[in-house]
Amino acid sequence: MSVHVLVTLTVCLSVTRLQNTHGESIAFGKLAKQRSNYPGYPATRALNDIYSNSGSLTSSTNPSWWEVDLRGYFNVSNITLTAASNGWGVHMRNAYVEVMDKDVSLCSDTQVEWCGNVSSTVAKKEKFIFTCNATFPIRFIRVTRRSTGNVLLNIGHIDVQGVGATKRYRSYYTPTVRRTVTKPSLTTSAITAGECGIFCHRNHSCIDFSYSKTAPTESNCLLTYEVVPQNSVAKNDWTMYTMDNCL
């Protein structure tokens, strides 16, 4: 059974090599994946500047792609791709950036906006800043590299600047019974699971939430803002709700 929550959202961003920042960084700590993983260089490395020397790296496929799920809906002001400082920027050449409202690998009605592409030459630590003109709220950002044959895709670092947006539509959460988050970012009170879900939507950084009918009323709604390993645990009388990708 899914929880239906009614809310409200708006919009996003061309490509230049000039510095431009609006809003806050909204990708760090979110869910990242790539088509394939070169051992030791998973997609999440591209979200943390501490790994910018080498970043993330796919194995050799065609196309090769990298994607982050912002786990919320945002107006995105700019997306900055930074080439790795170790010279792997050669594996970012001609890659292009797109933004989407849904997971294109799961949903048949995904809206996609092309934002621009990296040049055919890339220097160490070079930054490419993309802006888009999407007329829909953004949840997913994908970087793709295609060629006539198999290619690697390397991203030294990616930063996404934006603000939470509001949009009228229904959100669906998949419940997992007898499970709750271990490290909630916010603890509050809710009369129903639906109300807890509304709190999650109003806090645009919220990823998922947990609700309990029997927990103390001042702490029966737990909101999660950051994806961390093993951020849920089995617990009776609790239900954890995870936002569906196809809304």
Pairing of strands 232-243, 169-181: antiparallel
Q: Which domains does the chain have, with CATH numbers?
A: 7-164 (2.60.120.260), 170-243 (3.50.4.10)
Going by pLDDT thresholds of 50, 70 and 90, the confidence category of residue 22 is very low
Question: Which pLDDT band holds residue 104 (cuts at 50, 70, 90)?
Answer: confident
Interacting residues of 62 by C-beta distance below 8 A, sequence separation 6+: 146, 147, 148, 149, 150, 151
Contact (CB, 8 A) for 43 and 81 = no
Contact criterion met (CB below 8 Å) for 88 and 54:
yes
Q: What is the spatial distance between Cα 81 and Cα 160, in angstroms, rounded to a whole number?
A: 9
Encode pLDDT of 157-181 as tens digits.
999 999 887 654 446 778 999 999 8
Three-state SS for 55-89 is CEECCCECCEEEEEEEEEEEEEEEEEEECCCCCHH
Residue type, 221: C
Q: Look at the alpha carbons of 27, 29, 33, 36 in this order and tell me if their dihedral is positive or negative.
A: positive
CA distances from 234 to 33, 90, 98, 174, 237 (A): 26, 45, 37, 16, 10
* Alpha-carbon span 13 to 45, nearest angstrom: 24
- Closest-CA residue to 159 (of 222, 106, 80): 80
| 117-138: pLDDT as tens digits | 999 999 999 999 999 888 888 9
Neighbours of 25 (CB within 10 A): 14
